[in-house]
Amino acid sequence: MHQLGIRRKRSRLAALVAVLLAAMLAVAGCTIGGAETAGEASPADKAPVAQVVETPVVGARDVSPIAPVSVTVTGGTLDEVALNNSAGTPVAGQLSADRTSYVVSEALGYAATYSWSGSATGTDGKTVPVEGSFTTLAPDSQTGGTLNIADGQEVGIAAPITLQFDNSVVDKAAVEKALVVTSVPATAGSWAWLPDDNGGSRAHWRPAEYWVPGTVVHLDAKLYGLNYGGGAYGDQDLTLDFTIGRSQIVKANAPSHRMQVVRDGQTIMDIPVSYGEGNEARNVTRSGIHMVTEKYEDFLMSNPPFYENVRERWAVRISNNGEFIHANPQTTGVQGSSNVTNGCINLSMSDAQEYFGTALYGDPVEVTGTSIDLSAADGDIYDWAIDLPTWKSMSALA
């Protein structure tokens, strides 16, 4: 009896152990031989680890054509990424050395759709596509601008940089911030916005004093894609490189009936001339700092009712109101003793030809001693007739 009881106890214990073991296996979800845990995804079912971020976001609209455009990836690297225009042509861009970012390096077009292509490979070996598109803004209008100086041109020491826009600019401050003038040697100066002319706004940059001869000047105008306000955007960037030539200043004192040409501090011409008669306002040579803007060996001049289409020789324009330094044989007899012209500065034929050969765009012509000052009424470039504090106050960033 005792042994039988022992065997029964052992049998019940073994059965209990077997039941507990089965329960544990069921709870753990294990299978014999180390099979996967029940309810846990296999590696093939896990989400890719590579995470791609596109800027601007997929589907974005009205994107600025100069906004940053890029793709970055975490948990992987980029493969053959490109941004393509609507014709399928890739836009210029640069892949980083570690292949985790791609940055577009050229401006985009207006009102255009761009699409991404390529892929990224994660550290888990899985690939994810780089795809999607966005659209750039469509401006109501585009505004262009023209400069008064050509690339590589040599100009006189009074020459401003003038930028004439073909429409009125609403946000002048935004535009002025995009206009950067640098020079060697460094030159103090300021932009000023003059009244609209020729159908659009105009901005002039003038040094505080005459340029130093030999100065090298650079303008960088980042205007493409810039919001001008009023629905208008810039149509292109502008750059300009030019140099300042020798110093040449014309000293023109009307009461003296003479004119001096001073080159690099030395008087190279001191000649008899005749200034405006001054019997009425239209015949007064304006006092103030004029600037040489054009010159013609032959020029037809008119000043109704006094004369029309009269051929004049060796004509150097110094303002847009019709003031020239030019030859006039009809006044030779009074040059040096009397002022009889209709506002121009008359020289003999030989003196006019000699001066003509020395004149350069941007040379200052300093007229003094007359009853009317040079002003905005006298043409497009009267920059030096404005005192420096007032000039600076005409900046949109003042």
* Catalytic residue IDs: 326, 344
Cβ proximity of 330 and 338 under 8 Å:
no
- CA 193 remoteness from chain centre: 16
What are the angstrom distances between the C-alpha of 287 and each of 158, 305, 375, 377? Answer: 16, 24, 9, 13
Helix (H, G, I), strand (E, B) or coil at 111: coil
Interatomic CA distance for residues 111 and 89, integer angstroms: 16
**Interacting residues of 215 by C-beta distance below 8 A, sequence separation 6+:** 183, 184, 185, 187, 243, 244
What letter does residue 20 receive in the DSSP assignment? Answer: H
Interatomic CA distance for residues 153 and 161, integer angstroms: 12
Please report where in the chains the tokens 């006092």 appear, as a residue: 287
Please report where in the chains the tokens 């759709």 appear, as a residue: 113
Structure tokens, 6:
């022992």
> Cα-Cα-Cα-Cα dihedral of 366, 372, 378, 382, to 10°?
40
Please report where in the chains the tokens 């640069």 appear, as a residue: 94
Verify cis geometry, omega within 30 degrees of 0, for the bond prior to 139: no
Burial class (CB in 10 A: 0-12, 13-18, 19+), 39: exposed
Interatomic CA distance for residues 313 and 352, integer angstroms: 8
